[in-house]
């Protein structure tokens, strides 16, 4: 069996990484085909369940659903329901933030 040091915070969120949905391109004003998702891990690289991840549009004027935090599952993954790009062609960015783990930024291009 595995032994863990009890002095370390096991399963405390420490890192956030893009799981899927970055770098997409789609028609402006429509949703990307792969909803953005992130993986939250602890300092040992283990997935952390039940961490609230907030997705928020930064650039491009699109919308993300939901605007409330999405909890990570047992696999440490949280996925937005949808990300709709802004109506104007060009760059769009979306941040995903998990308390204690930081923020990652997704990019997409509206065509």
87 contact partners, CB below 8 Å, separation of at least 6: 28, 29, 61, 110
pTM of the model: 0.89
Question: What are the pLDDT digits (tens) for 65-103?
Answer: 999 999 999 999 999 999 999 999 999 999 999 999 999
CA distance linking residue 44 with residue 37, whole number of Å: 20
Give the Cα separation of 29 and 16 in Å (integer): 28
* DSSP annotation of 30: S
Question: What are 14-59's pLDDT values in tens digits?
Answer: 999 999 999 999 999 999 999 999 999 999 999 999 999 999 999 9
User: What's the DSSP call for residue 109?
Assistant: E
């Amino acid at each position: 069996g595995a032994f863990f040091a009890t002095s370390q915070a096991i399963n405390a969120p420490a890192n956030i990484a893009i799981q899927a949905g970055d770098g997409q391109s789609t028609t402006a004003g429509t949703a990307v085909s792969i909803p953005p998702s992130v993986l939250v891990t602890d300092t040992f690289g283990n997935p952390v369940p039940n961490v609230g991840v907030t997705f928020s549009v930064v650039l491009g004027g699109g919308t993300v659903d939901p605007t409330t935090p999405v909890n990570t599952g047992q696999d440490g993954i949280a996925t937005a329901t949808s990300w709709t790009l802004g109506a104007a062609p060009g760059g769009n960015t979306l941040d995903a933030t998990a308390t204690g783990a930081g923020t990652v930024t997704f990019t997409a291009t509206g065509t």
